[in-house]
A and B are shown apart, each in its own frame.
Chain A
Amino acid sequence: MTLAEINPLAKLSDGSFVALDAHMEMEDEAVGRHKKVLTELGVDLSEPREMYEPSDFERNVKAIDAADHRGVIQGKDHGFTGNIGLVIGAGGGSLTLTDAVRNQGGKPANYAEIGGNPSVSKSCGLAKEILQKDGVEKIAVMMSIVSNTRVDIVARGVIKACLELGKDPGETIAIFRIPGAWEDEGYKILDKYGVEYADRSVSMWDAAGTAVAKIQGGGA
């Protein structure tokens, strides 16, 4: 529990107190140990307590993530209305890349986070969901330097997504910028399918700029 705001508080004639109304906030991490009180309060534990109704995209990505325990993928599109599909990752990397796209005039179609070491099918699933969003023709696949996530596995996943949707990976993936673990193996696969990629010598900003220019034209 991180916040309990009780107002009004009433004093009964026997001297005891009763909370007449309260606002409480609990972090997700603590829900597991407060199941009893939450049930008593009538909180449905399976209900995602977001501030808004999740979109089909958000629900689908969540289902793909839950289907297999390796790695984590997240996707959001609430408030995003652009046409640049973002297959991006790590907490800080995703924030940095979303800023880099927007600050160079790009309009993202979504936000995403790839974390840990997801399977080929998970990376593929995320990329497919993004590519099937209205108005999205191309994706940018970008992360900060990775040490746990494997570059070659993400490369295989996003290429598979293109192929399964009948799209040419070389045309569909505007830029692939994930340096780090297993990068040489990843670059080989990307070469084979004619996908433009960048190593760590290309900054996250410049990779994002390439995506904006290729997808929206002009750009930076």
Chain B
Amino acid sequence: MSILLNEDFTFIVQGITGREAVNLTRECLDFGSSIVGGVTPGRKGREVHGVPVFDTVEQAVEHHGKPIDGAVATVPPAFTKDAVFEAIENGIKLIVVVTERIPRRDVAEMVELADERGARIIGPNCLGLIAPGVAKMGGIGGPAKDAAKAYVAGSVGVMSRSGGMTTEISSTLTAAGLGVSTAVSIGGDAIIGSTYADLMPLFEEDPQTEAIVIYTEPGGRMEAELVEWREEAGSTMPIVAFMAGRFMDDESMKGMTFGHAGTIVEGKEDSATEKIKRLESAGITVVERIDEIPDAVKERIGA
């Protein structure tokens, strides 16, 4: 099992004729994903690696003959909101937004509409998600043969604010024989569609997942929300967290921005030091090094 994806999961790629989208389509198909269409206005009738291209999402759904489960949006920032709205209006329930540098107001509107319609957004500014041996949705892990090296099916769910670090952490879990149930690159922006706390209930329900690893950074309230959710839900699923960007707490680094758009320390509460304290107080193991993660997970699950 996995979360969000399964063997029958179908999706489209919005902006499929763009250079990066063409690569992403190849990678996903090679990994076993079922891409049933692509959308680029004005390009109807073309094919990208055998995937038919349409002008609109509606045409893609009509061609498929039944509802499509997901969409990967890889369109320029100024048009992303419209693309996501179009996907939601056409009944799509899971939308991976790859695009970065989308104005924050647009993201807020996208997330709001998704909430109203019972759809879920992953991202923006993310690499998507991968269920080893099942499918991948987005550029996560790169070409299928590279993705297969880092991601082998196993018992650990991964959520990460960094796309690249999703693969680094998963590779470490794979090398240690633990493997990955589903890995989600949740995105590095200040506002994202699915936070740790939003995805935790899905991992809780997944019989394959025995523990969670999160990659986190200074900035924002997402870690605090995870702690609140854990306490409210009475969840005891083991979580191991890695916090990057501890150096940003230094006095000499005040006011500087590093890494992702959402990695901005706006108050004492969202510094690395405070976040680590809060995570640990909720029984979450916080490690200093990526290579300490597998042992920390094994200790928590008693393997």
Which A residues lie at the B interface, using CB under 8 A?
A: 1-2, 27-30, 32-33, 51-52, 76, 78-79, 90-96, 98-100, 102-103, 111, 113, 143-148, 180-181, 200-201, 203-206
Contact = CB atoms under 8 A, between A and B. Distances in A.
Most B Cβ at <10 Å: residue of A1, A27, A51, A76: A27
Contact of B141 (A90, A93, A147, A204): A147
Contacts of A205: 289-291
Given A33-B103, A148-B139, A181-B146, A79 B168 contact: no
B164 A144 contact: yes
B104 interface: yes
Contacts of B102: 29
Contacts of B26: none
A2 B244 CA distance: 25
A90 B255 contact: no
B143 A92 contact: no
Given A78-B256, A95-B258, A111-B258, A203 B288 contact: no
B244 A181 contact: no
B200 to A, nearest CB: 21
Contact of A95 (B143, B190, B259): B259
Interface in B112-163: 139-143, 146-147, 150, 160-163
B101 interface: yes
Given A29-B103, A98-B247, A203 B164 contact: no
B291 A203 contact: yes
Interface of B: 77-78, 101-105, 139-143, 146-147, 150, 160-165, 167-168, 171-172, 175, 188, 190, 215, 217, 242, 244-248, 250, 252-253, 255-256, 258-261, 263, 288-291
Most B Cβ at <10 Å: residue of A2, A91, A103, A144: A91
A145 B164 contact: yes
B29 to A, nearest CB: 16
Contacts of B288: 103
A111 B253 CA distance: 11
Nearest to A200: B171
Contacts of A33: 103
Given A79-B253, A79-B256, A143 B164 contact: yes
Contact of B259 (A28, A52, A113): A113
A114 to B, nearest CB: 11
Given A27-B190, A146-B142, 20 more contacts: A1-B105, A2-B190, A28-B101, A29-B101, A29-B104, A30-B105, A51-B256, A76-B256, A78-B256, A79-B253, A90-B163, A92-B217, A95-B162, A95-B217, A96-B168, A96-B242, A98-B245, A144-B162, A144-B164, A147-B147
Nearest to B260: A91
B18 to A, nearest CB: 14
